[in-house]
């Protein structure tokens, strides 16, 4: 017999034996999974071939499966059982449970970049989150407003002088939110903030880094190390890791040096300082959480703020409503306060519609640590299952959102909110692993919008019907956040 044929028999036999052994060990999970609807599976692969799509098509594929199998269905990625749950009531029950408070296996692909901490989960996430929480409290955010106001006014001056040409406002907004985050969450001085190693390179490469991570999450062949290396992905990863290391080393070094001289007051202390002073983290862990706090603050805030500005540019009636409200509540000049932001109801509606349309997380995954039942115990998710919550699809479910693909801030008028299941809108997640920076981010984003609208009149660049979505962890505008701007009410060179 030909040795090559014999080798194929041996490999095939080993795979069959592995598959049969796995099925025997996991027979209970398989039996429980078979009670749920879902696409037919292949041996060893499960439903992996179903998801062999471009990253931007993954959520569309999930949507197609939901139309076929309903709000709860299962699919297998190799030996990993995933159960998708979209019903709002079930989502709240599951995400609020202590039985589902560990991140799912897809977050393992974040580990080389940010370690096993606050976002990616792991044994230390509770402790690290507890240390960082005071930086994002309402009291702390109140003390950050002087920085917010200063940086956002500078941004408003820049945008108001753009002229008639179309531009991507995300670029300018990102630079502004980066400076705000550096001088608050990172605890840096303005001088240190503008001189950080590889800062400019990092903030504009983060999106490409997330694309790489999402590719690895969604393309099974990239899980094979030789293929990952041959396709040049390992080289890209090493580049990003070096860039992260250089930036975070500089931030932590500067803060450790500053803390030897004096400590900031408790109410104004940044997250990096808290991590350092706690004495609970190694130098490596501090750097990992530094990049976590950095990117989850400045980049996320910039995406959402740019989305709000783009929607206001394309919805002139809403821009007028928001602007008039700003003048009535805040005034044409002077600093913005958090109390004033809370009174801007029209701005809040546009902000929420932006979060619905461009969710911070397109989908989230959790590991079921213990069996958990829903719907009067008629459905049980077995321990070891990966729970998938398709936030993007939930936010566009026509049962809760009329014309879900249209931008309509009026969805969030009080009378419309009352008609809708409150759990159909979960932009910050739920439960113990919800978004840490929701108060901070909301304040910074709204401050950006107030200052920009006081200085600039925004105009559309394209039709909102032509927005293409990009899925790479969060949902963003594929073609950027393009608008036009001109000085408002005779403001010239940033002066009234």
Written as six digits, the tokens of 259 are 């803390």
Count CA atoms closer than 13 A to 340's CA, side-chain side.
Answer: 20
Percent of residues, the chain, with pLDDT higher than 90: 59
Q: List, in sequence order, every residue forming a beta bridge with 388; answer none if it has no partner.
A: 84, 365
Residue 416: other Cβ atoms inside 10 A: 14
Helical H segments across 279-315, by residue range: 283-294, 300-314
169 assigned binding-site residue: no
What pLDDT does 274 receive?
95
- CB 390, CB 396: distance < 8 Å: no
Residue 114 forms part of a structural domain = yes
CA–CA separation, 349 vs 408, rounded Å?
A: 9
Closest CA to 452 of 163, 166, 147, 173: 173
Element (H, E) at 399: none
What pLDDT does 494 receive?
44
Closest CA to 59 of 290, 379, 359, 458: 359
Q: What is the CATH number of the domain that holds 110?
A: 1.10.630.10
DSSP 473: S
Q: Which residues of the chain have pLDDT under 50?
A: 493-496
What pLDDT does 220 receive?
74
What pLDDT does 78 receive?
79
DSSP 49: G
- CB 289, CB 200: distance < 8 Å: no
- CB 307, CB 358: distance < 8 Å: yes
Residue 204: other Cβ atoms inside 10 A: 12
Contacts of 76 (CB under 8 A, 6+ apart): 33, 41, 46, 47, 48, 82
Closest CA to 45 of 18, 84, 81, 79: 79
CA–CA separation, 177 vs 334, rounded Å?
A: 19
CA–CA separation, 153 vs 147, rounded Å?
A: 10
CA–CA separation, 307 vs 169, rounded Å?
A: 9
State CA 225 to chain mean position distance: 27
**Model pLDDT for residues 29-69, shown as the tens digit of each residue:** 888 888 999 999 887 778 888 877 666 677 778 888 999 99
SS3 212: helix
Residue 10 forms part of a structural domain = no
Written as six digits, the tokens of 143 are 């003390």
For the chain, how many structural domains are there in total? 1
Q: List, in sequence order, every residue forming a beta bridge with 31; answer none if it has no partner.
A: none
Residue with tokens 């990863």: 237
Residue 435, CA distances (Å) to 60, 257, 349, 419 in order: 25, 30, 20, 26
Residue 53: other Cβ atoms inside 10 A: 13
CA–CA separation, 299 vs 206, rounded Å?
A: 8
CA–CA separation, 204 vs 376, rounded Å?
A: 48
User: Domain limits at 323?
Assistant: 35-487
The pTM assigned to this predicted structure is: 0.92
What pLDDT does 218 receive?
76
Residue 93, CA distances (Å) to 84, 90, 372 in order: 14, 5, 10
Residue 7 forms part of a structural domain = no
Helical H segments across 195-280, by residue range: 199-218, 225-230, 233-261, 271-278
Residue 25 forms part of a structural domain = no
């Amino acid at each position: 017999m030909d040795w090559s044929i014999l080798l194929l028999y041996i490999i095939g036999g080993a795979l069959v034996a592995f598959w049969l052994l796995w099925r025997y060990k996991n027979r209970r999970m398989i039996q429980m999974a078979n009670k749920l609807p879902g696409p037919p599976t292949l041996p060893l692969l499960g439903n992996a071939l179903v998801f062999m799509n471009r990253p931007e098509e993954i959520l569309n594929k999930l949507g197609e499966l939901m139309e076929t199998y309903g709000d709860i269905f299962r699919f297998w990625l190799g030996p990993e059982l995933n159960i998708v749950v979209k019903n709002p009531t079930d989502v709240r029950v599951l995400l609020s449970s202590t039985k589902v408070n560990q991140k799912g296996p897809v977050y393992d692909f974040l580990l080389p970049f940010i370690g096993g901490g606050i976002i990616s989960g792991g044994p230390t996430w509770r402790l690290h989150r507890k240390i960082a929480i005071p930086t994002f409290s309402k009291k702390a955010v109140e003390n950050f407003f002087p920085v917010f106001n200063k940086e956002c006014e500078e941004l408003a001056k820049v945008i108001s002088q753009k002229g008639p040409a179309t531009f991507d406002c995300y670029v300018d907004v990102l630079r502004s939110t980066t400076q705000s985050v550096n001088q608050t969450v990172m605890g840096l001085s303005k001088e240190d903030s503008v001189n950080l190693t590889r800062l400019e390179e990092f903030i504009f490469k983060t999106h490409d880094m997330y694309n790489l991570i999402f590719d690895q999450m969604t393309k099974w062949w990239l899980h094979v190390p030789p293929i990952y290396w041959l396709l040049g992905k390992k080289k890209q990863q090493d580049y990003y890791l070096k860039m992260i290391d250089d930036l975070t080393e500089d931030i932590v070094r500067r803060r450790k040096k500053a803390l030897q001289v004096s400590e900031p007051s408790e109410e104004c202390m940044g997250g990096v300082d808290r991590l350092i002073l706690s004495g609970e983290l190694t130098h490596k862990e501090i750097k990992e959480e530094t990049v976590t706090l950095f990117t989850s603050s400045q980049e996320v805030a910039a995406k959402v703020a740019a989305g709000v500005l783009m929607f206001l540019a394309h919805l002139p009636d809403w821009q007028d409503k928001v602007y008039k409200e700003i003048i009535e509540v805040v005034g044409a000049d002077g600093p913005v306060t958090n109390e004033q932001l809370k009174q801007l109801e029209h701005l809040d509606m546009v902000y929420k519609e932006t979060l619905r349309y461009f969710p911070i997380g397109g989908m989230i995954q959790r590991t079921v640590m213990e069996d958990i039942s829903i719907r009067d115990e008629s459905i049980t998710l077995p321990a070891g299952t990966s729970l998938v919550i398709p936030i993007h699809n939930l936010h566009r479910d026509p049962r809760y959102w009329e014309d879900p693909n249209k931008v309509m801030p009026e969805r969030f008028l009080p009378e419309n909110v009352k008609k809708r299941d409150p759990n159909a809108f979960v932009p910050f997640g739920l439960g113990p692993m919800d978004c840490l920076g929701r108060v901070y981010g909301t304040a910074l984003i709204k401050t950006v919008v107030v200052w920009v609208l006081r200085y600039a009149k925004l105009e559309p660049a394209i039709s909102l019907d032509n927005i293409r979505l990009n899925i790479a962890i969060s949902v963003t505008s594929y073609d950027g956040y393009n608008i036009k701007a001109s000085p408002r009410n005779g403001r010239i060179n940033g002066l009234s």
